[in-house]
Structure 1
Amino acid sequence: MSELNSERFLRDETWAERVFNGQWVVPAGGRCQVVEPATGEPLGYVGFAEAQDIVQACASAAAAQTQWAASDPRARAEVFYQAANLAQAHFAELALYVARETGASLMKGEHEVREAVVLLRQAGGLLAQGQGLVLPSAGGRLSYARRQPHGVVGVISPFNFPLVLSLRSVAPALAVGNAVVLKPDPQTPVSGGFIIARLFEAAGLPQGVLQVLPGGVNAGEALCRDPHVRMIAFTGSTEAGRKVAQVAGSHLKKVALELGGKNPLIVLPDADLDLAASNAAWGAWLHQGQICMATGRILVHESIAPAFTDKLVAKARQLTLGNAARGEAALGPLINERQAQRAQSIVADSLAAGATLHLGGAADGRFFAVTVLSDVRPGMRAFDEEFFAPVASVIAFSDDEQAIDLANRGDYGLSAAVISADVGRAMALGERLNCGMLHINDQTVADECVNPFGGRGASGNGGSVGGPSDWDEYSQWQWVTVKQAPPAYPF
């Protein structure tokens, strides 16, 4: 930690055994250790929230929210622009911390910080947009609809892209006038929480408007139950999302869920094999496959499947495992050994069911070998389940109808892609895919912040975040009518 402590903006003593409520305070829940996945070495200790810490945070956020929502929009916007400038000024430092804490390459850490700058500036820009509509009505009556904040928004974020996946909810929710209670994953509490807290603290966000409390299941459940919280924005596994929806829904809260995916990439027989293999490799193995949009099913026409698989194997052989944050390897570890063992179990069960292993398939601590499977079929775990590991599953198909059927199997519906020299054919096929995001002549991993991001079925509950969706998600309509005087009614 000495190298990180030497930096000016991020100092572990700031958050050591603490959480953030506008100030850095010691929680009742105690502390938890944060470990760098690539080395197994401790990065430090942070505060660990229990239910009572969440209850206090929610009450504090509710008390601060009204004044924040009533503040000058230009002054609010300036907070976001200043936070963006701070992120840009400390870019290298933040990127390295994100890479180390998430077990990622420095490239991925840099990507998160770049996107964080965009998200902050975009949130500031929300406050220059119109926030209502004048509606047609009877003469003598002004009728309009305006956007109002929910009040307090609870955000529960994951470990894989923690800075982006926290901030994409935190920033717009704050911008439109909500207070936010953020519970980042305790495996990545700095990237997913305390970097955001530091940026807003330094940018002048009023105390209490943002609360950041890493915690476990008890803390998350308390956030979903608390009466001060009117909306929960959750990003994570489908299994956990169902539990969040059940608890929050029983308390009549709005729930925005961004969940897992088993995302298909369809490679048609006229595709350029080199480009198709490059796309598939990137989609399946980027950040060790720990992405909800990762390419989970590579559907390849049977006439080119053997040659395509050979090219994919050749790419896999070139990818090294190690401390990617230090530039020592192309790929880093998984977030923990449990994830690696789960991936190994899925591969083993799929091989027993008839899949073919070309390369990889084994775990070594947190590291999981880059893996290529073929002969994968419906009913195998490799076909049905989300890996969250660097595994490419190749599935052959005979015609477009079969490709569509295989792509749409199961309940997921997040991202999908089609690669073909015939754009018209690819688009026609894509129109029939069950997905919230579709990419023609690209792979499945893509997000530009300005786009609506969301999935269907087991990948989400029909909402979207980002760009034009943010006002819809983080505020609600209020209808207002105004008359010069009350009318006389017949009663």
Structure 2
Amino acid sequence: MKTDFSKIFINGEWTSGSSDSQMKNTNPFTGEELVTTQAADKNDLDAAYKAAETAQLEWAKELPQAKQAVMEKAIEVMKENKELIIEWLIKEAGSTKIKATVEFGASMNILKEAATFPFRMEGKIMPSQQPGKENRVYRNPLGVIGIISPWNFPFHLAIRSIAPALATGNAVVIKPATDTPVTGGLLFASLFEAAGLPKGLLNVVVGRGSEIGDDIVTHPTPRLISFTGSTPVGKHIGELAGGALKKTALELGGNNNFIVLEDADIDQAVESALFGKFYHQGQICMSINRIFVHKDIYDEFAEQFIERAGKLKYGNPAEADTQVGPLINRDQVDRILKDIDATVEQGAKIRLGGKADGNVLQPTVLTGVTNDMPLAENEIFGPVAILIPFESDEEVIEQANKYPFGLSGAVHSANIEHGTNIAHQIETGMIHVNDQSVNDEAHMPFGGEKDSGLGRFNGEWVLEEFTTLKWLSVQHQRRQYGAFVDNTKK
């Protein structure tokens, strides 16, 4: 694999962008400059889309085994470059070694699942209401897909669109987040180049959102825009795409609930909450945002949770045993500290942490939080846990559903049916009983309700997103059109 990521990738060629601006990529922990890329402008984006459009016409006609062979070769290339990919996730995205390794494995699972897709482009033969007619339904690629990848799980959340799109006969143009141009984009150009993907099918434009952000959506070529990121940006993309009658696959923000019922195994619930809250510093769309604990066990849960959270090692993500690394940039740190201060002003109490060193925010826990305080209302996206007491099932269901998000969640109870009953009443696309909210399996539908997005990724569900259906009928015997045609003979 190529490892010089100072250029963008268009039509199978590594080239300098045409913009006057440069994209400086830095390590969020050390501040070290990793690589500087000459940014892409609208002309580069246009060239990428045109290359994709041309290449896709032939790719769509390729035999399924040819597409599958490229995906299987990509799996081999990924395995061979595992340490390189993990190293970049650590130094560019601030991933701990633990998180980067898990992200690599999850991405591999996506690629393996996508390798089956060329032989899963199923159609149907269906009956007709007309004599002698045969109805056929074909599943075809959409054409070109525009992908905007995020910075938090950049490799995994990019490949979950890239691999299925290519495997189903589409071409792609990727705009990675400005904080993670390598792990969210350029690594894939190198990976699929080494795997023998034909030129033009995968293009990576590294550029500023202010310069090409809207154009990647409004350009006439892409049929679908796949975006993972914040809800406000997702809504803007949805408006732009809707105006051009484009499809969207949007995985947006979350305000995920973690509900601990009065009969829960407290030790199990604490372990689940620690992982679901502090894994990757809480910078995951599925991370726990609000921890609701029944009042009868609130104090016991809080003490155990605070004690265990205080033992988490935070700091340098390159050290193998670090559990909480840096946030992606200082803006994120300052935003969260502001919400912590506002929540404390309204009566909450900091029981652990609450301070930052550079981009590393200490694992933080607050008690005495109510559901209308800033940290409860806003998506935290950082290593800050808030514990909210409740008295009844009805109360916690109402509070959990208060905000216009519905991505993931969890419910803990010793009574599986009780926990499942509560889970059914939470308005969310995904929820887990006696587990935590951060779950993603390559063959299971991933997506949210309400302001948490549109569409589903993974497995057969992403097949539905990235393909289109065509009805083709065949009239095997002469059709009689009745009086309408008979009258024309007179």
* TM-score category (smaller protein): over 0.9
1:43 match: secondary structure:
strand
Q: Secondary structure at the match of 1:252?
A: coil
Instruction: Tell me the percent identity.
Output: 39
Per the alignment, in what secondary structure is the counterpart of residue 326 of structure 1? coil
Residue of 9, 19, 33 corresponding to 1:19: 9
Matched, 1:192 2:184: yes
Query: For 2:203, which of 203, 207, 211 is the aligned residue?
Result: 211
Distance in 2, Cα, partners of 1:173 & 1:19: 18
Matches within 5 A, 1:296-335: 296-327=289-320, 329-335=322-328
Structure 2 residue matching 1:324: 3-state secondary structure: coil
Verify the 8 A CA contact 1:17 1:31 in the aligned structure 2. Answer: no
In the TM superposition, 1:325-404 aligns within 5 A as 325-327=318-320, 329-404=322-397
Q: 1:416 aligns with which of 409, 415, 418?
A: 409
Q: Aligned letter for 1:378?
A: N
- Give the alignment's TM-score, normalised by structure 2: 0.95
1:470 is aligned to 462
Partner of 1:133 in structure 2? 124
Give CA-to-partner distance per residue, 1:367-400, whole Å, 9 cap, x none: 1111101121122111110011101110000011
**More displaced 10-residue stretch of structure 1: 49-58 or 438-447:** 49-58
Structure 2 contact 98–323 (Cα < 8 Å) conserved: no
1:312 partner letter: F
Is 1:440 paired with 2:433? yes
What is the match of residue 69 of structure 2?
78
Question: 2: distance between equivalents of 1:10 and 1:37?
Answer: 23
| 466-475 or 29-38: bigger deviation | 29-38
Distance 2:121 2:2 in 1: 36
State the SS of the aligned residue for 2:385: strand
Aligned to 2:91: 100
Match of 1:52 among 29, 43, 50: 43
**One of 264, 267, 270 as aligned partner of 2:263:** 270
State the alpha-carbon separation in 1 of the partners of residues 158 and 8 from structure 2.
Answer: 19
Q: In structure 2, what is the equivalent of residue 160 of structure 1?
A: 152
> 1:81 and 1:38, CA in 2 relative to 1: closer, same or farther beyond 3 A?
same
CA contact (8 A) 2:17 2:40 kept: yes
After TM superposition, the score normalised by the length of structure 1 is: 0.95
Does the CA contact (< 8 Å) of 1:20 and 1:197 recur in 2?
Answer: no
- Return the alpha-carbon distance in structure 1 between the equivalents of residues 462 and 274 of structure 2: 32
Matching residue of 2:104: 113
The residue aligned with 1:3 is none
Match of 1:252 in 2: 245
The structure 2 residue matched to 1:484, chosen from 454, 457, 476, is 476
Measure how far apart 1:19 and its partner are.
3.4
What's the CA shift for 1:248? 1.3
Equivalents in 1 of 2:321, 2:448: separation in Å?
A: 35
Larger Rg: 2
Post-superposition shift, 1:327?
A: 2.3
Letter in 1 for 2:78: A
| One of 444, 448, 451 as aligned partner of 1:455 | 448
Distance 1:435 1:484 in 2: 48
Query: Conserved in 1, the CA contact under 8 Å of 2:259 and 2:293?
Result: yes
Name the amino acid aligned to 1:159: W
User: Residues 33-87 of structure 1, C-alpha deviation per residue, up to 9 Å, x if partnerless?
Assistant: 1111111101112242222221221111111110010111100111001001110
Alignment counterpart, residue 56 of structure 2, candidates 65, 80, 102? 65
Structure 2 partner of 1:5: none
Tell me, yes or no, if the aligned pair for 1:21 and 1:212 is still in contact at 8 Å. Answer: no
- The Cα of 1:486 is off from its aligned counterpart by 5.5
Is the 1:354–1:376 contact (alpha carbons within 8 Å) kept by the matching residues of 2? yes
CA distance in structure 2 between the aligned counterparts of 1:486 and 1:228, rounded to whole angstroms: 40
Answer yes or no: is the 8 Å Cα contact 1:19–1:48 preserved in 2.
no
Partners of 2:262 and 2:372 in 1: how far apart? 25
What SS is found at the alignment partner of 2:245? coil
Which ranges of 4 or more aligned residues in structure 1 deviate by more than 4 Å?
A: none
Q: 2:243 and 2:112 mapped to 1: Cα distance? A: 35
Structure 2 counterpart of 1:283 = 276
In the alignment, the residues of structure 2 paired with residue 130 and residue 56 of structure 1 have an alpha-carbon distance, to the nearest angstrom, of: 29
2:488 is matched with none
Structure 1 residue 364 displacement after superposition: 2.5
Amino acid of the residue matched to residue 233 of structure 2?
Answer: A
User: Counterpart of 1:464 in structure 2: which amino acid?
Assistant: R
Displacement of 1:328:
6.0
- Aligned position for 1:232: 225
Distance 1:169 1:325 in 2: 28
Q: Deviations over 1:319-372 (max 9, x none)?
A: 122111232632110000000000001111111111111112223321111110
Alignment RMSD (CA, Å): 1.3
For 1:334, give the aligned amino acid: L
